[in-house]
Structure 1
């Protein structure tokens, strides 16, 4: 509660029976009520359309766990997506600097800790629903907050916790993407927490969340991808969260590893026929001006390639042989 001489006499907490803060702003009371809700002792007082797993975040409360990358790769080693931590776990460390209150600016001194040159996006970690969520993409080009379905599940939610979302999203691919639903959660960055509505989508991604302009404006936050910093004002002054270039580069490698390989052209040898020297190379390496493309059943996705050096009789026999296989 603080020393008696620093307490505000105009604010009283009925839970502590003391002055210093209002009852509605008492973190100890909120944590106690949340424990009762989780134990099922206040079920009759909780509205059913509110997610029971949504909790009020206290800046100094320990996280329930850490959500790392939720994208699976075909590797022999197992990737653990959740690591439960004890109550004495180390809290989030913030890169704080003595900025003037209310003024956010960047200079070369903010590059301390950044690897240059780089073209990395800003990837940070945030607290959501008492979990530390890593690989959160700060995207100033996005309007809304996006939560990927695997992250939604790791946070302890089910489909019944979502509200309907009937409007499509654009920008993920060529076609509009309809979200599975929406959910509003408290998102904590440093000592500051704001409620954020997420649209839940079921798409593959190396990121766990995308935080767009809606959250940035609510936080009054200013991101700098060059300095790899996210700055925002709080009642304690300007706070900074440094991005993780390692996470950004790992995300890029994951996406690159999932790209389909360029198909190879397999050789079909016919007795007494000399094989083309460039058979087996990738299409981009082949001398395409010396090849003919023959579609199968007039399907552009099914075809084979033969050389133009064949005479008309051999070409006709060869095509008939391949189409008859």
Structure 2
């Protein structure tokens, strides 16, 4: 990461990069239908030269005045347009919680970059769903905001995202940015005044809808005997909050114990029991091995060594024909007679 440099030329952008969000199944497998590059018109270029945001002081902060023009209340992410490598790139997520800038393949291609432009990046990343993602590589590109230009190391990730890119703490700190999702703004000092970048709530909500639509195969069961109004309210609530549900064990691995932690109410008078080993069939053993490998990779479980307390696995076939791997916690449940959360 470099210190921001001044670019007094203020050249117009090379083009504008959009992500076109459409219904699933309509884009086929052609990346060109997901991302397009368009030239700015002469009128847009002239307006770009004249745009400037006035700041009264170098005290960076937010007030109720900054809420004007936004939809309140809201829980929208902060999504902005930034000029990256000469292109106005839309749908860029500002994420102070991330430690690396991320770029997705469609944007990489839209910037006319080639695979050989990438340098090696060996450290894996953890995706939003907690899955390990191996980056394709990294590349350093300039991000221009008015007169300030910051060189940023983008990690190129081959994974789905409704965003074209994510800017994180390295860019935020280099530009001395403060951001507010509530006020939908980014502010930073430049040339003795405070400059700002406004977020696009409509764009943020389109990104959220696109992300939720990826869960189209997930189903929730609602009681058929609910009153119509209550049923409608419940379905609406589930749809609005579909992104917070963990649909399987791989959606929420490694939950921080400081957030939530369940302790077993074990009776201290019970002696740890080691169940006799049950020899599984080859088919069952293969299913257990595959499940354990996936859970270990996701960080949901880890290997421990205490032979004084062991439980056997139980493998049952689902209606779908796939194997479900359970653990025989019969003895452990007996040791926790008053536990309101018995283990399956």
Q: For the superposition of Structure 1 and Structure 2, which TM-score range results when normalised by the shorter chain?
A: 0.5 to 0.7
Please state how far the C-alpha of 1:187 moved relative to its aligned partner: 0.4
Using the alignment, how far apart are the partners of 2:50 and 2:160 within structure 1? 29
Counterpart in the other structure of 1:224:
180
Give the secondary structure class of the aligned counterpart of 2:19. Answer: coil
TM alignment of 1:259-274, pairs within 5 A? 259-262=215-218
Alignment match, 1:193: 149
RMSD, aligned CA: 2.9
Q: Give the superposition deviation at 1:226.
A: 0.7
Aligned to 1:125: 81
> Are 1:135 and 2:91 matched, yes or no?
yes
Matched, 1:61 2:11: yes
Q: Write the mapping of 1:239-258 to structure 2, written as runs, cut at 5 A.
A: 239-258=195-214
- Is the contact between residue 190 and residue 241 of structure 1 (CA under 8 Å) also seen in structure 2? no
Deviation at 1:84, TM superposition (A): 2.1
The equivalences for 1:169-180 within 5 A come to 169-180=125-136
Q: Does 1:82 align with 2:37?
A: yes
Note closer, same or farther for the CA distance 1:92–1:218 as it changes in structure 2 (3 Å cut). Answer: farther
For the residues of structure 1 that align with 2:8 and 2:110, how far apart are their CA atoms?
20
Cα 1:138–1:95 shift into 2, 3 Å? farther
**In 1, Cα distance between the equivalents of 2:155 and 2:136?**
8
* SS of 1:241 mapped into structure 2: strand
Find 2:171's aligned residue among 178, 198, 215.
215
**Residue deviations 1:245-271, cap 9 Å, x none?**
0100111111122213346xxxxxxxx
Q: 173-182 vs 253-262, which deviates more? A: 253-262
Deviations 1:127-160 (A, max 9, x none): 0111000011000110110001111110010110
- Partner of 1:126, secondary structure, is strand
Q: 1:149/1:80 Cα in 2 relative to 1: closer, same or farther (>3 Å)?
A: closer
Kindly indicate whether the alpha-carbon contact (under 8 Å) linking 2:24 and 2:213 is maintained by their aligned counterparts in 1. Answer: no
1:149 to 88, 105, 122: 105
Structure 1 distance, partners of 2:49, 2:211, is: 28
Q: Distance in 2 between matches of 1:176 and 1:80?
A: 25
Distance in 2 between residues matched to 1:93 and 1:249, nearest whole Å: 29
Displacement of 1:92 in angstroms is 7.6
Inter-CA distance 145–262: structure 2 relative to 1 (3 Å threshold): closer
TM-score computed with the length of structure 1 as normaliser: 0.61
Deviation at 1:95, TM superposition (A): 6.7
Q: Hey, what's the Cα distance between the residues in 1 that align with 2:188 and 2:66?
A: 14
Distance 1:92 1:185, change over 3 A: farther
For the Cα contact (< 8 Å) 2:17–2:36, is it kept in 1? yes
Aligned mate of 1:300, from 313, 318, 341: 318
Q: CA deviation at 1:205?
A: 0.9
Q: Distance in 2 between matches of 1:175 and 1:247?
A: 26
CA 1:107/1:171 → structure 2, altered by over 3 Å: closer, same or farther? same
Greater Cα shift, 109-118 or 172-181: 172-181
Three-state SS of the structure 2 residue aligned to 1:302 is coil
| Structure 2: distance between partners of 1:139 and 1:224 | 10
Q: Which blocks of at least 5 consecutive residues in structure 2 are unaligned?
A: 28-32, 226-314, 323-344
Q: Could you state the TM-score of these two structures normalised by the residue count of structure 2?
A: 0.58
1:146 is paired with a residue of what secondary structure?
A: strand
C-alpha distance in structure 1 between counterparts of 2:138 and 2:202, whole Å: 30
Contact 1:66 1:131 (C-alpha < 8 Å) held by counterparts: yes
Q: SS state of the match for residue 81, structure 1?
A: strand
| TM-superposed deviation, 1:301 | 6.2
